[in-house]
Structure formats: structure tokens, C-alpha cells
Structure 1
Amino acid sequence: MSTPPFYELPVAHTPQHPVSALVFAPAGGSSAAPRLLVSSWDKTVRLYTLAAAEASTEEAPQQAQLVHTFEHEAAVLDVVWIDEQRAASASLDRCVRLLDLQTGQSQILGRHGSGVNRVRYDPVSELLLSTSWDSTLSIFSLSPPSQLHTLTLPAKPLAMDISPGAGAADETPRAVVAMTGRTVHIYEMRALRAACDRLAKDEKVEEKSWEPNQTRESSLKYMVRDVRCMPNGEGYASASVEGRIAVEFFAPSPEAQAQKYAFKCHRQVVDGIDTVYPVNAMAFHPRHGTFASLGGDAIASIWDAAARKRRLQYARFPSPLTAAAVSADGSLFALASGGENIEDARHEGADKGEVGGVGEGGEGNVRIHVARADEDFKPKAKAAAA
């Protein structure tokens, strides 16, 4: 019998409530062991170091050491690495916090008028962005820590990501903000940096300097749950509550836009009914360009964006999946189960109330799973021509 691809980490002090984000440390760090930040609805951000139970590098990490726990006043909806020593968090308490990963201390970097749902850092422009349900996007500097400017968005933001710049095929880092009403704004980070620099010098900054480089209508008809940018910087994928994923490209040329597509996923027939599950999260592999999708059906799948095909589908996890991450070197894939599931009182049987046999999530059912990533995410080789 072959070894299961995933190991459930026997971590101390595992979050008791669903995980909102998993993020591996950025590339180039000095730490020998992988480090993982975990934000949760239990009002915490946890920093772990992962280590293999055996010396063999073929093993996925099976042990986790809790390094720090950062307490918040309310649920934490997102977390992002800034560098080896710092991270930032977004919380329902309306605050964006700067986390010191060495001392375990934190400070409030800025505030919004409502809960903060996303936070991202761009190392090229050295700007930190946060979005809030008050329909604003805030821009922060970290040298010194300060809130530089706040933009009013046309609708409530649902998801955000920043494309890589340095080392990507397209070296223009962009922020993608998906909002209600199918509105998508795409900002060029260097342009925002230039506007912030002029503002700091008390120079006049025209309103158009803060406008997005592109405004689009999402290809998805229903509410977006996640947005993730391609590692080559050429585009992004977005996922919705209606079991669909859209793959889009930044270049406005007709040739580039002709490549965009959308597809159905995370669906199954339950008692003769086609049941649709939300796609809660996605994660790209930094080298292969393939990506994982995680659904409310407790299923994780790997997709080849270029070939427009599913690479593989893992066996069902214990409960709905909420977050995922691939390490910066592409060697590890982590995901979290324990999200709340779609309950249906009419569903009879031993698993009554759990549609399609999906296990119970929520408090006390949160698990973090880690596997080796390289082979599972590697695109299938094309068959040689006869």
C-alpha cells in the first residue's frame, strides 16, 4: 500500500476555528526549516516552523513547532509575509497590524472603517495594500511604518492579490482587486509608488494618479471568493461561490484577451441533484504555473492553466477546505480543512445534514495538511507526435 500524499500536522495549539490564510515564508530566507504563517477566525495568527520526522528529504514535514501566537481583538481574515522578520495581518477589528516575527510583538499600522479582509505586500514598490468592507483600499509604507493614502473603491472588495514583479516574465507588479457587482480593478504598483512619493514631498497629485490602470467586468457571474496572480506575472485566476474558476490575462490586446476562459469545478451529484460547492481558495505553484483549487466539497484539485485540464484530484479531506499555500521553492503544499459545510436537513442517512458525505467543519475540526508538491503540480508531458 502506497503512502498517503498528505500528512496531518500534529501541531500544538492548532487553531480551533477555521483557517483564513496559510502563507509560507518568502524565498531567500536564512531559516533551514520551512516556516508557515496561519491566520484564523479564532482571533490569532500563528507562526510555525516545520520539520520532517525523519532525515529523508523525501518526506513531507510531519512535525510543527509553534514559535509565536499573535492575539487580535477579532477574527483574522488574512496574513502576509513582508520579509524574514515581519508580517502583516488583516482583522475584523478594522486594524492592519505589523507583526514582529522575532519578538512576537505587534503594532497597529493603520485602521479602516470596517473589517479588513485582505492584505498584500509588493517587494518591488515596497508598498503594503489592505482592503476593507468599508469599500476602501489603503496604501502603507513600512520604512518607516505609516499609512500613506486611502482610495475609495466603487464597491465592496471581496478578494485581492499582487502579481510578482522581479523574476517574472512580465516584470510589472499589479494589484488585482475583485469587488461586488463583478467589478475588477487592476493597479500598477509602480504608479502607486510614484504617486505616494509625490504626496510625501507635498507635491500636487492628480486624482487620475490613483486610478486603476484597468477596470474590468469579472468573467464570473457570482460572488468571488479568491483571486490569485500567476507566478509569471501575465494574469490571474479568480474563483466564485458558484463552483467556477476564471483564468484571465493582463495584456489588453485582442490576442491576449482571446486566451481567457472559465470552467466549472467542485460539483457532485447528491441524491440525483447537481450540487454546487464554493471554490474557497486557490494556490499557484511558483515554478510550474499550475494551481490548486479548494472547495466546500472537501476536495482539492490541481489544474494546468496552460493546457486547460485538471492535473489530478486528491481524495476527499475530512471537511470543507478553506486555505492553501505552496512554499516559495515549490517543494511543499499546505492546506487547511475545517470550514463550515453546506447542510441540508433533508439529506438522510448516517451522514445526515452533511451534503454529499462532507464531514463536519467548524470549531474543533480544523486540521492542517502538508504534502510534497513538485510531482503533483508538475504539468503532464505532452505525448510525442507519431
Structure 2
Amino acid sequence: MFSETKTNDLQVPQCPNSITSVEFSPTENILSASSWDNETRIWSLNSNGTVTPKAQVKVAAPVLDHCWSSDGSRLFSACTDKNVYQWSPSAPTPSIIAQHAEPVKCVEFAENLLCTGSWDETVKFWDLKTPQPKLTLQMPERVYCMNLIYPVLIVGLAQRKVLTYDLRNASKPFKNQESPLKMQTRCIAIFPDQSGFCIGSIEGRVGVQHFAGDDKKNFAFKCHRRKDDVYSVNAISFHRTHGTFSTAGADGNFTFWDKNAKQRLKQFPQVNQSIIATAFNKDCNLFAYAASYDWSQGQSGYNSQRSSQIYVHVVADSDVRPRKAGF
């Protein structure tokens, strides 16, 4: 399916194998990535256009997700050993900060609260001062994906369930719905203005949903398809200034979209593996994407000769600026 990589984007050195997530520090141009080989690594993106490895930690189990604290001083790695580890780039020695009864699939941080979602069908909140969670929310299914822009938390679950919470009153969801898509949820992202969300699935479609107002504004569209081949939508990331967004898929492509005009802004060259994860930096002028095996075909589909890669794309404003409908 895949050809040789065609991208001219900056390639990050010394990547881990089988990447699970990528993130930028909220305070500076430092990039991080987690992986199935038990690692979380970080790199400095320098003003001269180079990338320098900065630190890394290795824990006891695969890391399914990670995030930064709001001040960029700490990272949190969510693992299959049911633990979440805390560590600092300046002192990369991990310590357990949170625990679940099953593997921890998702981790988010906002307003001095660590939020963790697990296959044990719970979402927990931690204030980092005590070993017990500040609040535990019982979910109807396993947590598959999650996004938090305070005060809105959205959780994508197994069986296509989607729960949305206002964390100022988190005792029950303010919206409990099924995904508008027909198949398993893969990724979810809140609009920057918190008025709705985008959801992606394994069927190569994205749903655009609003929390309130006219349902006619909600729609779904096909993407990451090639003739009769259908590929999973693995990642959705929003440009926080323009409100446009990216999708990335198992076809090895990423694309920028304008949801309001219902149009594609720009599609980029294919890379030679599935794109697993994406992230904009704090200024939204850099876009990181990770090319790695997605394990959709199990062990039989794994090729040890094909290494994982992370690329950084310099974002042109013309690539992400909204356009008038009908362009």
C-alpha cells in the first residue's frame, strides 16, 4: 500500500518504536512522544531548524498516551501496567502518580487537575497532592479516547458511546449520546470555542457535532479512503486560532479542513506508514505527525524493518486559514 516517504518536512532523530502519541509543550517548542516500547521521549526544536534529543524515560510497560502539565514542567505517561507516571524533563526519573484497575488509555491535564481514562470503565481526577483520586466518574464502557479543554471534557467509549462533562459540575454528563458514525471510535477533539467536537472512526469518516442549537449544523464526511480501500482516522487536531482542523489516517496522509465551509483546505503527501498521532505547537505554526505501525493487523502485520518516524511541518497560514464556502 505504501510508497517511499515523499515528505520534505523536518524529520525528528532518535524516535522510539511503535509510537502511540505526540504532544508539544504548552510553553515552548519542545516535542514529546510516547510508545509501545515503554518510553516517553522529548526533543528541543531549535531556532536554526534543527531538532535535538533532550530527555527520555523508560517505565515498566507500554505507554498508551501522555501529556504535559500546564506550565510545561512535568509530563505524565499513561501505561498498560495500570499506572500513570510523573516525570520532569530536568529530572527524568518517573514516579507513580495515579492508578487504575486496568490499563490507562488516556491522560489529560488542565487547571491543576490530572484526568485519566481507563479500560476499567472509569475516568479519574487527581490533584497530585494525594494518592487517592479527587473524583471518580463511572463510565458505561471502556475509555478509547478523550479530550479536555477546561471546563469541557469529552470521552469516547467502546460501543460508540460519547459522554461530555462540564467539570464545574461533573457529577453527571451534560450530554450523553451515540457517535454519529457507524463504527468504532478512534479519536475525538473539542472545537477551540468549546461549542462542539469532531469524532473519527475506523471507517474513514469524521463526524462534526455541536453541543447545542440546530442539528442541521451537524454532519459527517468521508476521508482517508482510496477507491475501495477504507482507512482508520487516527488523529484529529484543531488549529486554535482559526478553528480549522487536521485529520490523519492509516493511509499515511494528513489533511487540513474547514468545518464551517465544509471543505478540504489542503492534503499533504503520503508517508510510508500509518499516521498515528498529530499535534500543533503553542503558536500553531508547527505541526508534528508520527508515522508508525497501528497494530490494526496484529503481530502478522508488523514489519521490524520499517522504523517509526516523527516529522515536523512548518504551517503556512494559507494552509489553515478558513475560506469562503464554494471555493
Same fold (TM over 0.5): yes
Find the residue that maps to 1:219 and give its secondary structure. Answer: coil
Structure 2 letter corresponding to 1:77: L
Specify which structure has the higher proportion of strand: 2
Asked if 2 retains the 8 angstrom alpha-carbon contact of 1:283 and 1:291, the reply is: yes
Structure 1 letter corresponding to 2:231: Y
**Which whole-Å CA distance do the structure 2 matches of 1:111 and 1:334 have between them?**
29
**Which whole-Å CA distance do the structure 2 matches of 1:67 and 1:260 have between them?**
43
**Which whole-Å CA distance do the structure 2 matches of 1:232 and 1:223 have between them?**
26
Alpha carbons of structure 1 residues 76 and 237: separation in structure 2 relative to 1, 3 Å: same
Alpha carbons of structure 1 residues 136 and 275: separation in structure 2 relative to 1, 3 Å: same
**What is residue 8 of structure 1 aligned with on the other side?**
11
**Which whole-Å CA distance do the structure 1 matches of 2:79 and 2:199 have between them?**
22
Match of 1:310 among 261, 264, 268: 264
Deviation of 1:217 after TM superposition, in Å, equals 1.4
**Which whole-Å CA distance do the structure 2 matches of 1:374 and 1:122 have between them?**
29
**What is residue 157 of structure 2 aligned with on the other side?**
179
Q: CA RMSD in A?
A: 2.4
Report 1:230-309 matches (<5 A): 230-251=191-212, 253=213, 255=214, 257-269=215-227, 274-309=228-263
How many percent of aligned residue pairs carry the same amino acid? Answer: 29
Alpha carbons of structure 1 residues 383 and 97: separation in structure 2 relative to 1, 3 Å: closer
Find the residue that maps to 1:258 and give its secondary structure. Answer: helix
**What is residue 215 of structure 1 aligned with on the other side?**
176
Deviation of 1:378 after TM superposition, in Å, equals 2.2
Find the residue that maps to 2:134 and give its secondary structure. Answer: strand
Deviation of 1:146 after TM superposition, in Å, equals 4.8
- Equivalenced residue count is 319
Q: TM-score, normalised by structure 1?
A: 0.77
**Which whole-Å CA distance do the structure 1 matches of 2:270 and 2:251 have between them?**
8
Alpha carbons of structure 1 residues 363 and 233: separation in structure 2 relative to 1, 3 Å: farther
**Which whole-Å CA distance do the structure 2 matches of 1:340 and 1:384 have between them?**
35
Deviation of 1:277 after TM superposition, in Å, equals 0.6
Deviation of 1:379 after TM superposition, in Å, equals 2.6
**Which whole-Å CA distance do the structure 2 matches of 1:176 and 1:383 have between them?**
29
Alpha carbons of structure 1 residues 308 and 100: separation in structure 2 relative to 1, 3 Å: same
**What is residue 348 of structure 1 aligned with on the other side?**
none
**Which whole-Å CA distance do the structure 2 matches of 1:133 and 1:374 have between them?**
39
Structure 2 letter corresponding to 1:43: N
Find the residue that maps to 1:319 and give its secondary structure. Answer: coil
Asked if 2 retains the 8 angstrom alpha-carbon contact of 1:290 and 1:379, the reply is: yes
**What is residue 162 of structure 1 aligned with on the other side?**
148
Deviation of 1:139 after TM superposition, in Å, equals 1.1
Q: Deviations over 1:125-154 (max 9, x none)?
A: x32111111111111113467522322211
Match of 1:41 among 33, 36, 39: 36
Asked if 1 retains the 8 angstrom alpha-carbon contact of 2:261 and 2:324, the reply is: no
**What is residue 107 of structure 1 aligned with on the other side?**
95
Q: Deviations over 1:214-259 (max 9, x none)?
A: 21111011111111111122111110001010111122x3x2x321
Structure 1, gaps ≥5 residues long: 55-60, 166-172, 193-209, 344-352, 355-359
Q: TM-score, normalised by structure 2?
A: 0.90
Structure 2 letter corresponding to 1:378: V
Asked if 2 retains the 8 angstrom alpha-carbon contact of 1:18 and 1:338, the reply is: yes
**What is residue 19 of structure 1 aligned with on the other side?**
19
**What is residue 76 of structure 1 aligned with on the other side?**
63
Find the residue that maps to 2:90 and give its secondary structure. Answer: coil
Stretch deviating more after TM superposition (362-371 or 210-219): 362-371
Structure 1 letter corresponding to 2:121: S
Structure 2 letter corresponding to 1:184: V
Structure 2, gaps ≥5 residues long: 1-5
**Which whole-Å CA distance do the structure 1 matches of 2:81 and 2:306 have between them?**
23
**Which whole-Å CA distance do the structure 1 matches of 2:259 and 2:292 have between them?**
27
